[in-house]
Structure 1
């Protein structure tokens, strides 16, 4: 493992949580954030045929929530939000005045209901993926 990477994913416990092979003896603390990357193919420059470097496939960002001596557990720290919903309410009421002068009145109320926010799943994180310190 190069100096670029801090550690590796050694287990996945669900779609949101990983265990890494770094803990308190490596300086990991609760709240530390990491980028999980899978290593893809070597990218080759089509003009020079030079091997540029391996593609890093981003799996997601995690935040440490439990630290042990040699391992730590981390959970996704990104959120997704569903689309906002625009609500329009139209209320018609009859006016009490002279016909033609005060006829039916419409009241229109518009509001926007924010979408629900939920924890974002890690994008296929797996054992062996690498961790970059954020």
Structure 2
């Protein structure tokens, strides 16, 4: 993914492992400045083509899959859990429904061993892949 889409002051890494349906390991840790409580956005490899209304040029906007919050930090890696989503289904909900969803539940990360017919009804499952870009979120943009 092209890093020019992002603020260079932020920490950028990749998903190194999917621990379970709520937890990922990111290949950035203490030596990179990661601390517990930091928020990382996980991005899709593809971008959304958006037309600039002033110039009519195509703007390639990164597609955010979900956000994870760091709870374990190691020297070169960290473990983070889901707590917020940007999946299309959640974005279609009314703001009050989104808030309720964020308080009462969190999205699951797709696991290759989990068959579609085994997913709980109504649960949003976001596909996260090893190698997906993980970018720290500036404190002012956490919500």
Give the match's secondary structure for 1:25. helix
Runs of 4+ in 1 over 6 A off after TM superposition: none
Higher-Rg structure is 1
| C-alpha distance in structure 1 between counterparts of 2:56 and 2:104, whole Å | 45
Change (3 A) 1:117 1:20: same
Whether the 8 Å CA contact 1:35–1:132 is kept in 2: the answer is yes
The count of aligned residue pairs is 100
Structure 1: any 5+ residue segments left out of the alignment?
A: 81-113
Cα distance, 1:78 vs structure 2:
2.6
Between structures 1 and 2, the one with greater helix share: 2
Q: Which residue of 2 aligns with 1:118?
A: 105
The TM-score, its normalising length taken from structure 2, stands at 0.56
Q: Which residue of 2 aligns with 1:133?
A: 136
| Cα deviation code 1:67-114 (max 9, x no counterpart) | 10001000002389xxxxxxxxxxxxxxxxxxxxxxxxxxxxxxxxx9
The TM-score, its normalising length taken from structure 1, stands at 0.59
Whether the 8 Å CA contact 1:9–1:18 is kept in 2: the answer is yes
Between structures 1 and 2, the one with greater strand share: 1
